[in-house]
């Protein structure tokens, strides 16, 4: 299923606060909590964001903890909370590391969230990257791609059928019921990652693609690869192509927002983001520089009110 109408360029956000990696979190997030998280989600809901997203780690390996931190709110618990403080925006895992969990456990969480949110889930999936985290969970890191492929099939089976059947190498199940049933049929599954196996997986198994770390200049080639692989697989239905944009600041900042931040007038930002639409991208994940939660909420609000209207018709 497609979520973004033809020609439109939608926008979503991976929420601050939920993950506290020093690689991208602002300083104020370290002291933030439920009040700030709810305010940000409500702002995105009001500003017309396609989705709010949270990411997925269970236990951060000590060697990575200095950079990544250990505060990563649980994906499904957090999305369930966000369902209660929003009304329109979709709720996305970006990304759920499916090898960490039995497919029936993931399907149960997704079905429940979709039922409670009136059909607003996007299941973003990925293979994971922290080898020691896999070790702690008793999972073979080297086989994570193969495990992910099977997990996607198992989860999809349980999302599509109340009494699913799956006979894989790692998991087998039948004659067990999964409810409540999701409102969406099907629940959209977007595949994350930019490595060749991820592009193949997105093309063959995904309703959408969530790139990870793809530079702007490489986007056209990766989009072409996905389309070619999808055609080779004989899949005719469209795929929602995404992008993670540069960090943004709407307006002329009075403080140093960093050289890699796109800042300035709404028209300037819309022009830069519109370049992704010209590549065929249908949805963008944005993030904003900010010094406190109020500034972050203001940036979300200004983007929805001042930049988003200028993106109409940006996708070709």
Please name the helix (run of DSSP H) or strand (run of DSSP E) that holds residue 125, with its range, or none: strand 121-126
Is residue 1 predicted with pLDDT exceeding 80?
A: no
The answer to whether 134 and 141 are in contact (CB under 8 A) is yes
Q: By three-state DSSP, how is residue 303 classified?
A: helix
Query: What's the CA gap between 200 and 196, in Å, rounded?
Result: 6
Q: What is the pLDDT of residues 139-176, one digit of tens each?
A: 999 999 999 999 999 999 999 999 999 999 999 999 99
User: What average pLDDT does this structure show over 189-194?
Assistant: 98
CATH numbers and ranges of domains, the chain: 14-239 (3.20.20.30)
In this prediction, residue 299 carries a pLDDT of: 98
Please, what sign has the CA dihedral across residues 104, 107, 113, 118?
A: negative
The answer to whether 252 and 264 are in contact (CB under 8 A) is yes
First to last CA, the chain: 19
Q: Which residues contact 85 (CB under 8 A, 6 or more apart)?
A: 38, 41, 42, 45
pTM reported for the whole predicted model: 0.97
Q: What is the pLDDT of residues 100-131, one digit of tens each?
A: 999 999 999 999 999 999 999 999 999 999 99
Query: What's the CA gap between 209 and 189, in Å, rounded?
Result: 9
User: What average pLDDT does this structure show over 288-292?
Assistant: 98
| Residue whose token pair is 């599954």 | 189
Is residue 133 predicted with pLDDT exceeding 80?
A: yes
């Amino acid at each position: 299923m497609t979520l973004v109408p033809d020609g439109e360029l939608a926008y979503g956000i991976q929420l601050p606060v939920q993950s506290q990696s020093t690689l991208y979190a602002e300083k104020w997030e370290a002291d933030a909590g439920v009040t700030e998280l709810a305010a940000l989600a409500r702002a995105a809901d009001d500003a017309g964001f396609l989705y709010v997203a949270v990411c997925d780690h269970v236990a951060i390996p000590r060697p990575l903890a200095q950079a990544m931190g250990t505060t990563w709110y649980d994906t499904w618990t957090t999305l369930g909370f966000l369902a209660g403080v929003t009304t329109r925006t979709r709720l996305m895992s970006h990304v759920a590391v499916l090898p960490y969990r039995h497919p029936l456990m993931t399907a149960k969480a997704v079905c429940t969230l979709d039922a409670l949110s009136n059909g607003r889930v996007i299941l973003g999936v990925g293979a994971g990257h922290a080898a020691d985290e896999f070790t702690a969970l008793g999972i073979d890191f080297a086989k994570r791609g193969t495990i992910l492929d099977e997990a996607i099939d198992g989860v999809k089976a349980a999302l599509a059928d109340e009494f699913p059947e799956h006979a894989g190498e790692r998991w087998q199940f039948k004659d067990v019921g999964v409810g409540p049933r999701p409102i969406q049929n099907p629940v959209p599954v977007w595949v994350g990652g930019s490595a060749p196996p991820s592009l193949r997986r997105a093309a063959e198994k995904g309703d959408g693609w969530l790139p990870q770390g793809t530079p702007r200049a490489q986007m056209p080639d990766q989009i072409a690869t996905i389309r070619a692989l999808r055609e080779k697989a004989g899949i005719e239905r469209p795929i929602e192509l995404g992008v993670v944009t540069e960090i943004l600041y709407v307006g002329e900042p009075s403080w140093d927002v960093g050289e890699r931040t796109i800042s300035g007038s709404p028209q300037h930002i819309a022009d830069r983001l519109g370049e992704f639409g010209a590549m065929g991208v249908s949805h963008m994940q944005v993030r904003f520089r900010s010094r406190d939660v109020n500034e972050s909420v203001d940036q979300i609000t200004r983007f929805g009110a001042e930049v988003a209207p200028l993106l109409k018709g940006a996708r070709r």
